[in-house]
Amino acid sequence: MIEFDVRQEEGGTVVAPRGRLTMVSARSFRETVTEVVERDGGTVVVDMSGTTFVDSSGLGALVACLKTARQAGGDLRIAAPTEQVTMVLGLTNLDRVLRPRDTVEEALVG
């Protein structure tokens, strides 16, 4: 199961998926981020410190959300990925485009 915490910070909006981002939850993650982009614009930081597992559907959702954010003139950045998330980002080369930052603060700065 998953929950999404959304909070506004100076420099952007932070979305924190808590739980597993998989085929079961990928759609609601996309909807949450799309809503944030439409409402706030600018930078979206996905705080993955509480995201215990990501599968290919979750990765697809991250790529889609990156496109959505950029099309709106903003950006999407990943912060504090857990070990499994770091591994799959590396195996899929998505770490090159999603370029994870160590902390949310770092991601908000750019």
Partner 1 sequence: MAETAHRVLDADVEPQSLEAVHDLLEDWWTEVGAVPMRTRFGFETAVVEIAGNVVEHTRRLDGTPGRRFRLTLSADERTLSARFEDNGLPVQVDLSEVSMAPVDDEDGRGLALALAALDRLDHSVVDGKNVWELECGRG
Task: Provide the binding-site residues for partner 1, judged by CB under 8 A.
Answer: 1, 20, 22-24, 53, 55-57, 59-61, 63-64, 67, 83-84, 87-88, 91-94, 96-97
Angle between helices 26-40 and 56-71 (to 10 degrees): 10
Q: What span, in angstroms and rounded, lies between the C-alpha atoms of 58 and 29?
A: 8
- Rounded least distance, CB 107 to partner 1, Å: 19
Six-digit token pair at 52? 């215990």
Neighbours of 44 (CB within 10 A): 27
Nearer to partner 1, 59 or 104 (CB): 59
Beta carbon nearer to partner 1, 11 or 60:
60
